[in-house]
Chains A and B, each alone.
Chain A
Amino acid sequence: MATAGRLCVIKKAGTAIAGLRVNSITWNGAGIDVTDKGDGAFQTFLTDVLATDTLEISGEGIEDGNVLRNLALSTDPADKFMTDLTYEFAADADAADTISGSFILTSYSEGSPYQEANTFTATFVRNGAHTFTAGA
C-alpha cells in the first residue's frame, strides 16, 4: 500500500526538523571493476565488495525554527557533524523503517522571496556506517 509523503520525516535529536516539505534519500554504490579479456566484453565486478557506498539525505521546506540555519552558519566545524540525525520512512499504522547514524551537513541554502515565506534546502552526507532498522 502506498504511504503519504508527509509521514516521512528527518529528525534531529528525536524531533522532526520544522518546516520540511520534501525530504529525499539517495544511496549510491560502485563496484570494483575486474573485467578482463576472458569476460568477453561484459563488465564484471569483484564479488561482494563495493568500492564506494554513499548515503545522502536532503530536505527542503519553509524556514521555521532556524535549527539548520544555525548549524550551517556556525563557525565551528564540529557543529556540522551530527550523531543524532534519523530518517524516518513513512508508515501509516506500523512502526516506520528508520535510518540513523552520523551525518555531516554539507550544504544549506536559504531563499527569501519577496512575497513568500523563507525557504531552505539542506543536504546531509553519511559519515561512516549507518544503522537501518526495519519497522514492524
Chain B
Amino acid sequence: MAVEVDFQTAIYATLIGDTPLMAMVQAVYSKKPQDNDAGSNAAFPYITMRFFYSENDTKSENGHNCLLRLHTWSRTGSDKETKQIQGLLYNLLHKNEPSVTGHTVISLVRESSDVADDDGTTHGVCDYRALIQVN
C-alpha cells in the first residue's frame, strides 16, 4: 500500500477514536462534503486534514518526511473552541507515534499552531511533522 493511504488511515483512526475530541467536533474530513450550491454543508466545528510528503531516503532504506496540517473550523465567534480542539489534537498526536501499516513512524511532533479569523469562521492551523520509515 502507499504511505499516503496508510498514514492518513492511522491519523484518521487516532482522531475519530478519541472520545473527548469527538465530543467537541462534528467530524474529521480529508475532504469536506459539498452542498448543492458548491459550498460546504459540513456542520461546525470540524477538522480537515492535509498531508504533504517529501522523500527522506537513505542508501539502504526508503523513508518519508510528512507535514501533517490539521485545519480546525469553528463558528462560535471566539477563538476558544478552536484552541480547545487544538489542545486535544496536541494531546493525541504530539510525541505519540501511531502504528502505520507497512511503515514505522520514527517521530511525530507538533511544529506550529495558529488561529486566524476567516470571514466569520475561526480557522485554526496546526502543523505536525512525521518521520516515516518504510518497513
- Asked if B106 contacts A117 (CB within 8 A), the reply is yes
- Asked if A16 contacts B59 (CB within 8 A), the reply is yes
The tally of residues in B whose CB lies under 8 Å from a CB in A reads 12
A68: Cβ under 8 A from any B Cβ:
no
A57: Cβ under 8 A from any B Cβ:
no
Total contacts A-B at CB 8 Å: 38
Cβ contacts under 8 Å, A18 to chain B? 58, 60-61
B28 to chain A, nearest CB (A): 25
B109: Cβ under 8 A from any A Cβ:
yes
Interface size range of chain A in the complex: 10 to 19
B62 to chain A, nearest CB (A): 11
Known: A115-B107, A116-B107, A117-B107. A16 touches B129 (CB 8 A): no
CA distance A19 to B60 in the complex (A): 6
A64: Cβ under 8 A from any B Cβ:
yes
- Asked if B109 contacts A20 (CB within 8 A), the reply is no
**B residues near A, CB below 8 A?**
57-61, 63, 106-107, 109, 111, 129, 131
